[in-house]
């Protein structure tokens, strides 16, 4: 077998080894003997080196006109289109999401590039009349400075792109720290940035642990903004560390997303939505459908139909285009899921199907788990309250729309929600009353379009939204107010008036 490729950090325009001289293995979760690559297990000193490079480059990059910055981004989009299939194959192998989903992940990055490239010619501020004669007032957006981008493994190209691309268009420089379970797609984005001619130091990439590389980005005073996506637990630590330095911080975190199925719903659509919502990416999506709240009148039929569909889901090699669900990303996720299955049983929920690790034949080589449904779940059970982040879905019963809404909103999280109904009044009421950042009607809880805000309430986020220009630019720029006095009056004469 060929030696696995060794990937380096990218600092100040150079591909360099870590000062730690250590590497970690990146293995496929579908076949643990398949080593995808060796990545730098970097030291804090590498992150500091990268931050200093980003700080130096910031002075030059912020002066590049925004439409010119955006041209680099457009070029990145064009190359991504050509390499989409290669990157999707790499991603499916590296983190285990089925190929069709991996294509969607790369497509997100393409969409972000094309969409944000247009922002280079907008980045709009506003003008307003002055209180004084012969004075102009207007606002502009300023870049924030060097940004630390800390990302998870579940959307390993889409999520880094949601941060990297708007940051660059806005004139910020970056140090990217991808998750160690899937650092390759972010590496490809960085290589692309280099290939498209983005100047040295503007984009830096440092792989390694959260406690070393990640923590350095939080602590170092040279980082002006930390943009983090990951678990709420890590997000809390990120927010606390950033507060110490009065650093701007944008947090996108966990979810416990509910789908409501009313008694008038089209059950064929609802079952299909539940399957993809709960089991796409093996349930490892922040928007995954984790609770299905079904009207009591249709609950038994819904569960029977869902069970039949889930028992026939094709689980297997993510590189096989017919496979519908791949493995879990790592052993820790698998163990956590198994623990929650035990918790659900102990709490008295009914295990409808699944609940076991898959080990026969090819499954034995990876971290496969059977898609799992619990019924008879009460709102107070831990499986109905805590983010599992695995292929496990809980079915709860409700007696009315109000009852269903109360159950859905009784959570610490607030990312996504959905309702299946054919009654327009119920649909609009749910869209208004579900306390989440995103609500779908007659569609599952998953999926996002890049020109719309993405993010959530409560422990899912801290008020920021990625995606749409109106919201992403609020993260990656600061407002500047400019007054231009063309009256020729002495300052003294102006003091009386303001």
Task: List contacts with ligand NAD (CB under 6 A).
Answer: 150-155, 159, 177, 179, 210-211, 214-215, 218, 229-231, 234, 237-238, 252-255, 286, 387, 389, 415, 460
Q: How many CB atoms lie within 10 A of CB 285?
A: 26
Cβ distance to ligand NAD smaller for residue 93 or 458: 458
147 labelled catalytic: no
Nearer to ligand NAD, 137 or 237 (CB): 237
**Nearest one of 324, 322, 270, 326 to 95, comparing CA atoms:** 326
- Distance, in Å, from the CA atom of 304 to the CA atom of 308, rounded to the nearest integer, reads 6
State the nearest-atom distance from the C-beta of 430 to ligand NAD, in Å.
Answer: 21
Catalytic residue among 242, 286, 353, 387: 286
Our CB check for ligand NAD shows the closer of 52 and 252 to be 252
What are the residues facing 372 on neighbouring strands? 392
Our CB check for ligand NAD shows the closer of 151 and 372 to be 151
Q: Nearest approach, Cβ of 314 to ligand NAD (angstroms)?
A: 25
CB of 150 to ligand NAD, least distance (A): 5
Q: What is the β-pairing status of strands 146-150 and 173-177?
A: parallel
User: Which C-beta is closer to ligand NAD: that of 204 or that of 421?
Assistant: 204
The CB-of-326 to ligand NAD minimum distance in angstroms stands at 16
Measure Cα distances from 27 to 39, 96, 150, 231, 365 in Å: 11, 10, 21, 22, 11
Task: Between 5 and 236, name the residue whose CB sits nearer to ligand NAD.
Answer: 236
Rounded to the nearest whole angstrom, what is the least distance from the CB of residue 138 to ligand NAD in the complex? 34
Both structure tokens of 33: 């003997």
- 421 or 460: CB nearest ligand NAD: 460
Q: Tell me how far apart the terminal alpha carbons of the chain are, to the nearest angstrom.
A: 76
**Cα 428 to Cα 426: distance, rounded to the nearest angstrom:** 6
CB neighbours of residue 361 within 10 Å: 8
Which of 48, 90, 101, 252 is catalytic? The answer is 252
Least CB distance from residue 287 to ligand NAD, whole Å?
8
- Residues 261, 441: Cα–Cα separation, whole Å: 10
Task: Write b or e for each residue in 129-166: b if 16 or more Cβ atoms lie within 10 A of its Cβ, otherwise e.
Answer: ebeeeebeeeeebebbbbbbbbbbbbbbbbbbbbbbbb
Shortest Cβ distance from residue 152 to ligand NAD (Å)?
3
CA distances from residue 262 to 291, 330, 456 in whole angstroms, order as listed:
14, 36, 24
Query: Has 252 been annotated as catalytic?
Result: yes
Q: Which is nearer to ligand NAD, 13 or 209 (CB)?
A: 209
Give the Cα separation of 60 and 52 in Å (integer): 14
Least spacing, CB of residue 466 vs ligand NAD, in Å: 7
Could you give the residue numbers annotated as active site? 252, 286
């Amino acid at each position: 077998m060929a030696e696995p490729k060794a990937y380096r950090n990218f600092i100040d325009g150079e591909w360099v080894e870590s000062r730690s001289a250590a590497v970690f293995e990146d293995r496929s979760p579908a076949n643990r003997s398949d080593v995808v690559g060796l990545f730098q297990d970097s030291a804090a000193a590498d992150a500091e080196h990268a931050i200093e490079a980003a700080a130096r480059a910031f002075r030059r990059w912020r002066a590049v006109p925004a439409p010119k910055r955006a041209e680099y981004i457009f070029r990145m989009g064009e190359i991504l289109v050509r390499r989409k299939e290669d990157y999707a194959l790499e991603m499916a192998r590296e983190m285990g999401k089925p190929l069709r989903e991996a294509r969607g992940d790369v497509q997100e990055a393409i969409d972000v590039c094309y969409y944000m490239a247009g922002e280079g010619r907008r980045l709009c501020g506003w003008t307003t009349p002055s209180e004084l004669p012969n004075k102009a007032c207007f606002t502009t957006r300023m870049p924030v400075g060097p940004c630390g981008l800390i990302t998870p493994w579940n959307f390993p190209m889409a999520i880094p792109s949601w941060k990297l691309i708007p940051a660059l268009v806005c004139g910020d420089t970056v140090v990217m720290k991808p998750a160690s379970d899937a650092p390759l797609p972010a590496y490809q984005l960085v290589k692309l940035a280099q290939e498209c001619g983005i100047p040295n130091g503007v984009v830096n990439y440092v792989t390694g642990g959260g406690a070393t590389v990640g923590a350095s980005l939080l602590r170092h005073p040279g980082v002006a903004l930390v943009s983090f996506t990951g678990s709420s637990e890590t997000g809390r630590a990120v927010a606390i560390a950033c507060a110490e330095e009065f650093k701007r911080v944008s947090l996108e975190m966990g979810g416990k997303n509910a789908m409501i199925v009313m008694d008038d719903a089209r059950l064929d659509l609802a079952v299909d939505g539940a399957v993809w919502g709960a089991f796409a990416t093996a349930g490892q999506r922040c928007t995954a459908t984790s609770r299905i709240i079904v009207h009591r009148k249709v609950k038994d039929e819904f569960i029977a139909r869902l069970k039949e569909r889930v028992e026939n889901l094709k689980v297997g090699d993510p590189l096989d285009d017919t496979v519908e669900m791949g493995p879990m990303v790592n052993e820790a996720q698998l163990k956590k899921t198994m623990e929650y299955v035990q918790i659900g049983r102990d709490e008295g929920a009914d295990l409808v199907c699944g609940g076991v690790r898959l080990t026969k034949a090819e499954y034995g080589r990876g971290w496969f788990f059977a898609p799992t449904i619990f019924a008879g779940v009460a709102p107070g059970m831990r499986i109905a309250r805590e983010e599992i982040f695995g292929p496990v879905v809980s079915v709860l019963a409700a007696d009315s729309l109000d009852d269903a809404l109360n159950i859905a909103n009784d959570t610490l999280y607030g990312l996504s929600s959905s309702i299946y109904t054919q009654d327009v009044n119920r649909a609009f009421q749910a869209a208004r009353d579900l306390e989440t950042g995103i609500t779908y009607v007659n569609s599952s809880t998953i999926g996002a379009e890049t020109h719309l805000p993405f993010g959530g309430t409560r422990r899912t986020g801290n008020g920021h939204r990625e995606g749409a220009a109106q919201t992403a630019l609020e993260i990656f720029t600061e407002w500047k107010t400019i007054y231009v006095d063309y009256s020729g009056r002495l300052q003294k004469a102006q003091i009386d008036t303001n």
